[in-house]
Amino acid sequence: MKKNLLVGAAALFSSFLYSQTYCTPSFASGCTYGDQIDSFQIPSVAFSHTDTVCSTGAYGDFTSQSINLNAGVNYPFQITHGFGDQIVKIWIDFDNNGTFTDAAPELVATASSILQGNDNITYGNLSIPATVTPGTYRMRVGDRYSTDPIPCNTDGYGEAHDYTVVVGAAPSCIAPTAPTVSAITASGATLSWTASSSAVGVGYEYYVSTSQTAPTNTTQATGSVTGSAVLTTPLSNLAPVTNYYVWVRSVCTATTKSSWSVPTTFKTLCAIEVQNYTFDFTGGVTECWQRADAGTPAGTPSGSDSNWYEDGFLNNGYEGAMKVNLYSNAWVGRFDSWLITPAFNLSGGAYQVKFDYGLTQYNSTDPSSLGSDDLVQFVISQDGGTTWNVLQTWDASSAVSNTSTPYSFSLANYPGANTKFAFYATNGDVVDQNDTEFFIDNFTVENTTLSTSETNKIKDKIQAYPNPFADVLNITDISGVQTISVVDVSGKIIKSFNKPETRIYLAGLPSGMYMIVLQMKDGSKQTIKAIKK
């Protein structure tokens, strides 16, 4: 009985400490449309509060739940929501004065939701400053649609939860802070961080991932540096156009490592294309293509928009090619529209560039012509997009067909290692009656002078399949093949094909092993072993 009274008194004291002094957050539009904190998890301390749904009044007092954290440690957390575009903030009333200051140190986390599969999830990091005095505090977690929640929120869609946190002393080995990444390329970057406040006897470890799921204490590091003074390391072998997340931790002694730091994130750049490149505009362009809506080829394009859009080539269907609509009227002034390709390294051979193009009336497959000062130009830059030369101009005097026309241009005189191409279009200053659409498709950059080793590589690639075969044997590439002979194990020619085809019919052959001898047009021979079932 006494014990119950004591517990009751403690509960009373606790409710006096918290509920009577803290504002109750509210959200005028509530959280019934999914703008709630549904599940809230801190995996590194095994805290998991799941399926909490939308609390009555969009506020859940969960201060009966205690979470044990330590000063000086960063805790990755995740929150699920039932609707996207949520902004999450977490505050802890470290001075126990009944109010949450919406700034550090009491603001311990800010994060935004992402769509992952069908789930709206916020991944964040709750960082307890090393200077926090161990003790018991109230923590408030707020989410709000499209807007920062505030501790005493009143407006918008969202929800808030309150919890109790018990903060313990800082560990002896604290993580480094402020990881940052610089000198980002398509395949690498430089990682730096601020030294740990602990004595770092060994060095630092880092973890690089394409997932923002935080590493745990037992996660194998990607790499390490030795010595407390080394606060930077190169990152290499990264994939282009990829988001990376990087964490750092201190190795204080051979047996003591800190928790992981907050992550830093970066995206690698587009690679410079060095292979033969073909792009058919399925799904439009990738992010390694650029648009620009200002400037002419006499200068440098700028802006990030343009009137180049995906549509069906020559208005057949709605997908798989790019077009620009050139028109003007009293309300539409002159516009400049650029579509810029990725960069190519053309220093390794004689290349050519090819594509298909055509011109139609707006939203029609009928033929058309460009207005008096309308212009479409195919241009090249050998300095990565700063200065441009015109390779081809289509204007009012050009008879551009409404059927597909192939274009090709030899790049033998353009060996730039950072070459870009662009399609530039303008409706000009004159308000013409023409309302036309210029289309491009099948953009290709190819090496026209294959080196001997590359020729050999292609030859080496010739294969026969299936193997073993039954009645028909397929040859993967007969473009360089003059004749095909089928030779048995005794060396006797069983069959010859003087006009080789990719499918050769060998139904009458007895079972056993055969040599398929390819007499190449260049005089060489290739032999493939094939087994008849």
Give the interface with Ca ion as residue ranges (CB under 5 A).
Answer: 36-37, 52, 55, 93, 95, 97, 99, 280-281, 320-321, 371, 373-374, 427-428, 430, 432, 441
Torsion of Cα atoms, 474 then 478 then 483 then 485, to 10°: -30
How far is C-alpha 167 from the chain's CA centre? Answer: 38
CB of 451 to Ca ion, least distance (A): 30
CB of 118 to Ca ion, least distance (A): 19
What are the CA-CA distances from residue 355 to residues 212, 292, 445 (Å)?
40, 20, 9
Tokens of 305: 């928009």
> Which residue is it, tokens 């549509």?
311
Q: List, as own/partner pairs, every contact residues 466-470 make where C-beta atoms lie below 8 angstroms and the sequence separation is at least 24, other chains included.
A: 467/529, 467/530, 467/531, 468/530, 468/531, 468/532, 468/533, 469/506, 469/530, 469/531, 469/532, 469/533, 470/532, 470/533
CB 532 within 8 A of CB 507: no
CB 307 within 8 A of CB 376: no
For Ca ion, the closer CB: 290 or 427: 427
CB of 37 to Ca ion, least distance (A): 5
233/231 Cα distance (integer angstroms): 7
CB of 263 to Ca ion, least distance (A): 26
CB of 274 to Ca ion, least distance (A): 23
For Ca ion, the closer CB: 52 or 467: 52
CB of 3 to Ca ion, least distance (A): 33
For Ca ion, the closer CB: 353 or 504: 353
For Ca ion, the closer CB: 171 or 284: 284
For Ca ion, the closer CB: 26 or 99: 99
Give every CB contact of residue 70 below 8 A, 6+ residues apart in sequence.
128, 167, 168, 169, 170, 171
74-81 and 351-361 beta bridge pairing: unpaired
CB 314 within 8 A of CB 402: yes
480/522 Cα distance (integer angstroms): 8
For Ca ion, the closer CB: 292 or 314: 314
Residue 25 gets which letter from DSSP? -
For Ca ion, the closer CB: 272 or 375: 375
CB of 160 to Ca ion, least distance (A): 9
For Ca ion, the closer CB: 224 or 316: 316
CB of 238 to Ca ion, least distance (A): 30
> Which residue is it, tokens 């190449």?
520
CB of 91 to Ca ion, least distance (A): 8
For Ca ion, the closer CB: 93 or 336: 93
For Ca ion, the closer CB: 132 or 202: 132
For Ca ion, the closer CB: 77 or 414: 77
How far is C-alpha 275 from the chain's CA centre? Answer: 21
CB 308 within 8 A of CB 279: no
CB of 78 to Ca ion, least distance (A): 14
CB of 72 to Ca ion, least distance (A): 19
Using only C-alpha atoms, the chain has a radius of gyration, in whole angstroms, of: 33
How far is C-alpha 2 from the chain's CA centre? Answer: 62
Q: Which of 153, 81, 175, 66 lies closest to 123, judged by CA? A: 81
Tokens of 321: 């090619």
